[in-house]
Amino acid sequence: MNHPLVSVTKKFEFEASHYLEGYEGNCSSPHGHSYKLEITCEGSPDYNNLMVIDFKELKEAVKENIIDVLDHKDLNIVLHYLKRTTAEAISIWIAYFLIFNGGLISLKKVKLWETSSSYAEYEISDPRYQKLVDDYEFIKKKIYKKTPNEG
């Protein structure tokens, strides 16, 4: 028997400020956004409850791991280890933390609206998450440590 594949999406909102370090343009100055966040999970509904994920569980995972961390915060401080706090980088960070901190293994897509007409979308394509791990490493700052001989 084939089981249906279903996607479910829940929307969230949070307020945060940031600036794009090293960027030439308006976004190099501190400013804020009213972010809209869409989290999509995908899977076969459970045989007994016919849910991919309980919306209550999804809400709790996102609130605890994302909203409580980012809401009314300076993203350059909270996400100081990212190269830049672009919508693209933040969407990858959100996916990474929902899976590895929040245990949200059914996560399929993160859509982060920075303005009413602009968003970044990150889709999970590898069920073992190796691409997500690689993408997360790509957005992080590289820490250079001096060797003892470099003084």
In this predicted structure, the answer to whether residue 47 has a pLDDT above a threshold of 70 is yes
pLDDT digits (tens, 9 = 90+) for 57-94: 999 999 999 999 999 999 999 999 999 999 999 999 99
The answer to whether residues 15 and 80 touch, using CB atoms and an 8 Å cutoff, is no
pLDDT of residue 149: 52
pLDDT digits (tens, 9 = 90+) for 110-143: 999 999 999 999 999 888 899 999 999 999 987 6
Domain boundaries, the chain: 6-144
| Nearest Cα residue to 94 out of 115, 123, 126 | 123
pLDDT of residue 150: 47
In this predicted structure, the answer to whether residue 144 has a pLDDT above a threshold of 80 is no
> Model pTM greater than 0.75?
yes
Chain CA centroid to CA 125, Å = 15
Please give the share of the chain, as a percent, with pLDDT higher than 70: 93
pLDDT of residue 107: 97
What are the Cα distances from residue 123, in Å, to 13, 18, 120, 136, 137?
A: 19, 24, 10, 13, 16
pLDDT of residue 2: 80
| Architecture of the domain delimited by 6-144 | 2-Layer Sandwich (3.30)
